[in-house]
């Protein structure tokens, strides 16, 4: 049996975003006999609490920054800057700050590289593609890069320079792993054969294909939230960031206060907007019906307990939380982001005009007033997820890419030696 391929993953931090979840899933669902993973974390606490640190450490794959190099003070400064909405300054400083961070991390990354001796480098954080290119130039290993979001989201995050970097440096990146950004990358000149359209999915074996006691999950969650059994649960999930649109979900709840007084909003996720969202709920008189649960490592039970999923994102049409909602059979109401949308294609809910709270409230009310509360709609999403959104298939495809890149690199090396 041949030795496993060694892959060195690099990522900025280990907070509870979809990018970090995808990295954990890659390691969790790949065959350790085929691929051996190591993870180099630049600054574990820069982006928030490193919630996945223990998960990776338990698998002995983590190479985190030593404590003295952790960036708690820098993270606090960034938080204050964003709270004061110094966006222009943040935009101007973003690229030089990232270059400096990558330069500071490079000596540590080189030490880890020499210890791991990887066949493939996989960079997950968007701006840290800079570090990946540095390592590629130094060691000539194949480089895979996960494009974390749409270009519009990059602009919202203050990294509007990143698409331009892709345009100039894509020849150094062997494979781009992405979702909706595929068309954007092609439009700027990245060859189609260098792009794999994949950013994870759902553990179908644990969700769609296994029976679960829905009533048990629901009763358990209702007891936890101290709610009556006739309560209706609308779910919104994602980090607490303006682009996720949780504020619209709270507006929606207030709009439906009279028609659906038993409706409660559950929000899973953490971030800088938590206090503002709590204040908004109190101001609109629904503070007792908005439940901010924070980050939850394994949230499936809450998805199973919900009645409807609110996809209030204003930039992205798809993400892992949306897939999870589909997999458990939730009907979905979402804003029309202007991208091709699974809601329209599959019919597991309703699509409404962007930021139109009246239309959103009407759609939610229509679904929850159906005799089955939209469960027959949700089954369309569940069927699609079972067939197309299996995270194990996504990981298998990525493992095949690692093997192909390793074989190509080995053949190139042999030709050079000859």
H/E stretch holding 333 reads: strand 332-335
Task: Identify the weakest region by mean pLDDT among 229-233, 271-275, 284-288.
Answer: 271-275
Q: Tens digit of pLDDT for each residue in 359-391?
A: 999 999 999 999 999 999 999 999 999 999 999
Residue 280 pLDDT > 50, yes or no? Answer: yes
Residue 185 pLDDT > 50, yes or no? Answer: yes
172 shares its domain with 217: no
* SS3 label, residue 290: strand
Q: Please report, for the domain that includes residue 101, its CATH number.
A: 3.40.50.2000
The whole domain housing 212 covers: 204-388
- Higher-scoring residue by pLDDT: 198, 128: 128
In this prediction, residues 25-47 reach a mean pLDDT of 86
* Of 16, 82, 14, 35, the residue nearest 405 (C-alpha): 35
Q: What is the mean pLDDT of the chain?
A: 88
257 shares its domain with 156: no
Residue 153 pLDDT > 70, yes or no? Answer: yes
What's the token pair of residue 414?
């042999």
What's the token pair of residue 267?
């929000």
Residue 37 pLDDT > 50, yes or no? Answer: yes
144 shares its domain with 227: no
Rounded Cα gap, residues 234 and 65, in angstroms: 39
Q: How confident is the model at residue 212 (pLDDT cuts 50, 70, 90)?
A: low
104 shares its domain with 217: no
- What percent of the chain has pLDDT above 70? 88
190 shares its domain with 217: no
Angle, alpha carbons 14-158-154 (nearest 5°): 75
In this prediction, residues 411-417 reach a mean pLDDT of 74
- What percent of the chain has pLDDT above 90? 65
Q: How many Å is the Cα radius of gyration of the chain? A: 22
Quote the pLDDT of residue 91: 64
In this prediction, residues 121-137 reach a mean pLDDT of 92
Task: Identify the weakest region by mean pLDDT among 62-71, 135-144, 269-278, 336-345.
Answer: 62-71
Task: Identify the weakest region by mean pLDDT among 78-87, 118-127, 265-274.
Answer: 78-87
Quote the pLDDT of residue 337: 94
Q: How confident is the model at residue 51 (pLDDT cuts 50, 70, 90)?
A: confident
230 shares its domain with 329: yes
Q: How confident is the model at residue 234 (pLDDT cuts 50, 70, 90)?
A: very high
- Higher-scoring residue by pLDDT: 148, 35: 35
Rounded Cα gap, residues 99 and 169, in angstroms: 14
55 shares its domain with 70: yes
Total structural domains within the chain:
2
| Region of residue 379 (phi > 0: left; psi between -120 and 50: alpha; otherwise: beta) | alpha
238 shares its domain with 350: yes
375 shares its domain with 402: no
Q: Tens digit of pLDDT for each residue in 387-411?
A: 999 999 999 999 999 999 999 998 8
Q: Tens digit of pLDDT for each residue in 60-116?
A: 788 876 554 454 445 555 555 555 544 566 666 677 877 887 888 899 899 999 999
What end-to-end distance do the CA atoms of the chain give, in Å? 27
Q: How confident is the model at residue 211 (pLDDT cuts 50, 70, 90)?
A: very low
238 shares its domain with 189: no
Q: How confident is the model at residue 134 (pLDDT cuts 50, 70, 90)?
A: very high
Quote the pLDDT of residue 163: 92
Asked whether 277 and 250 are in contact (CB, 8 A), the reply is yes
17 shares its domain with 142: yes
Quote the pLDDT of residue 179: 82
Quote the pLDDT of residue 66: 57
Q: Tens digit of pLDDT for each residue in 329-338?
A: 999 999 999 9
300 shares its domain with 180: no
Question: DSSP class of residue 339?
Answer: S
Beta-bridge partner residues of 350? 333
């Amino acid at each position: 049996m041949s030795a496993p391929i060694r892959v060195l993953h690099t990522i900025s931090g280990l907070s509870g975003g979809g990018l970090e979840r995808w990295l954990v899933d890659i390691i969790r669902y790949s065959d350790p006999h085929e691929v051996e993973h190591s993870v180099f974390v630049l600054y574990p606490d820069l982006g928030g609490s490193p919630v996945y640190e223990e998960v990776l450490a338990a698998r002995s794959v983590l190479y985190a920054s030593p404590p003295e190099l952790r960036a708690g003070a820098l993270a606090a400064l960034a938080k204050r800057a964003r709270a004061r909405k110094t966006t222009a300054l943040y935009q101007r400083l973003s690229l030089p700050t990232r270059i400096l961070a990558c330069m500071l991390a490079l000596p540590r990354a080189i030490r880890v590289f020499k210890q791991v001796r990887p066949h493939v480098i996989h960079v997950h954080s968007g701006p840290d593609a800079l570090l990946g290119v540095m390592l590629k130039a130094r060691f000539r290993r194949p480089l895979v890069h996960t494009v974390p979001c749409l270009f519009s989201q990059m602009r919202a995050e203050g990294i509007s320079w990143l698409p331009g970097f892709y345009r100039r440096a894509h020849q150094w990146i062997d494979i781009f792993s992405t979702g909706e950004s595929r068309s954007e990358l092609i439009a700027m000149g990245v060859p189609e054969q260098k792009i794999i359209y994949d950013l994870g999915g759902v553990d179908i074996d644990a969700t769609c294909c296994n029976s679960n006691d829905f009533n048990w999950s629901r009763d358990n969650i209702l007891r936890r939230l101290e709610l009556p059994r006739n309560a209706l649960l609308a779910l919104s999930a994602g980090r607490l960031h303006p682009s996720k649109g949780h504020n619209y979900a709270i507006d929606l709840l207030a709009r439906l206060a009279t028609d659906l007084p038993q409706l409660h909003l559950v929000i899973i996720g953490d971030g800088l907007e938590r206090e503002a969202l709590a204040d908004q709920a109190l101001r609109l008189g629904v503070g007792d019906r908005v439940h901010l649960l924070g980050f939850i490592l394994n949230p499936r039970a809450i998805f199973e307990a919900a009645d409807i999923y609110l996809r209030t994102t204003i930039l992205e049409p798809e993400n892992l939380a949306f897939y999870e909602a589909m997999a458990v059979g939730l009907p979905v109401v979402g804003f029309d982001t202007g991208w091709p949308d699974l809601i329209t294609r599959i019919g597991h809910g309703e699509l409404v005009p962007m930021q139109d709270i009246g239309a959103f409230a009407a759609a939610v009310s229509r679904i929850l007033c159906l005799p089955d509360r939209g469960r027959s709609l949700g089954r369309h999403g569940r069927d699609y997820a079972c067939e197309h959104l299996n995270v194990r298939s996504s990981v298998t495809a990525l493992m095949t890419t690692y093997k192909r890149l390793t074989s190509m690199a080995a053949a190139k090396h042999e030709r050079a030696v000859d």
